Amino acid sequence: MKRIGFLLKVKEELVDEYKKHHEAVWPEMLAALARHGWQNYSLFMRPDGLLFGYFETPHGFQAALDGMAGEEINAKWQEFMAPYFEMPDGAHADQMMVELEEVFHLD
């Protein structure tokens, strides 16, 4: 199992609204994540909007991203969530994720 960490930046003025949307993620989106090996997925956020994401996958980061890229529901979710992130116009958060290097792990 590969452990994945990544950072994104939510616009500080939209943090509360972003959190609200994650209280009820669309069931179809949750099912798509599960289909493509996104397990033990968590998001953590500072008050200024810096977001740390973590998930585990048997397939590796790029394979997990590629699988989701083929899901229509993911395209809809990314379009819906795009205004919340600090990133270039027209980009989606899943295109801006950069895998962090794991430098320590304790089981």
Catalytic residues: 22
> What totals of helices (H) and strands (E) does the chain contain, helices first?
5, 3
Please enumerate in sequence order all residues whose Cβ is within 8 A of that of 67, keeping only pairs 6 or more positions apart, or say none: 35, 36, 37, 59
